[in-house]
Structures are given as structure tokens and as C-alpha cells.
Amino acid sequence: MPKKIKGSTWCVFSNPVNLGTEEVPDWEYSEMLCDDPNIYELIENTTTEAEFYLEKTFSYGDFFVMFFLTIFVLVVIVKTIWDQFVKK
């Protein structure tokens, strides 16, 4: 059954795999087919053989977090330089 993922992309998840035990099942899907494959990128780790999908879009929440982290880092840098070079 297709599921809608964030925005207008439709994805179909298939091939469920039980990563847990029979007593405590943990079902995950091993394949994802989307109508716009350019939104997601498959990242594979060659040493551990782990893989995951990375969303290649930038949301307002991402911008909000990055904005405040940038302001915080700039304030810390300016305060450090100010305290270091301007004698009280």
C-alpha cells in the first residue's frame, strides 16, 4: 500500500524483514520505491554494510535550527574575541 511521505511524494514500501525474534518481532521494510527518486539518496557504509535513505530537501524547521545555531556560534566567537583582545 503506498504511503505519502512529506510533501507530494508517494512511496511504496516492500519486502518486510523481521529484524527481531519470533517472540518480539521488529518488522522493517527493505525496499522503498518512490515516484520522485531524486528526493532521497541511498547512503551505504561499505565497512558495516549499513544503509539508510537521506532526504535531500531543506525544510523550514531545518532553516530555523540552522539560523539559531549560526547566531549562537557567532555570539560565542565575538564574545571570545572581545574578551581576549579588549582589556577591561
Q: Where are the domains of the chain?
A: 1-57, 58-88
**pLDDT band at residue 86, thresholds of 50, 70 and 90?**
confident
Phi-psi region of 64 (alpha: psi -120 to 50; beta: other; left: phi over 0): alpha
| Residue 65: per-residue pLDDT | 94
11-54 pLDDT, tens per residue?
788 888 888 888 888 888 888 777 776 777 778 888 888 888 78
The continuous run of DSSP H or E covering 68 comes out as: helix 60-85
| Residue 76: per-residue pLDDT | 96
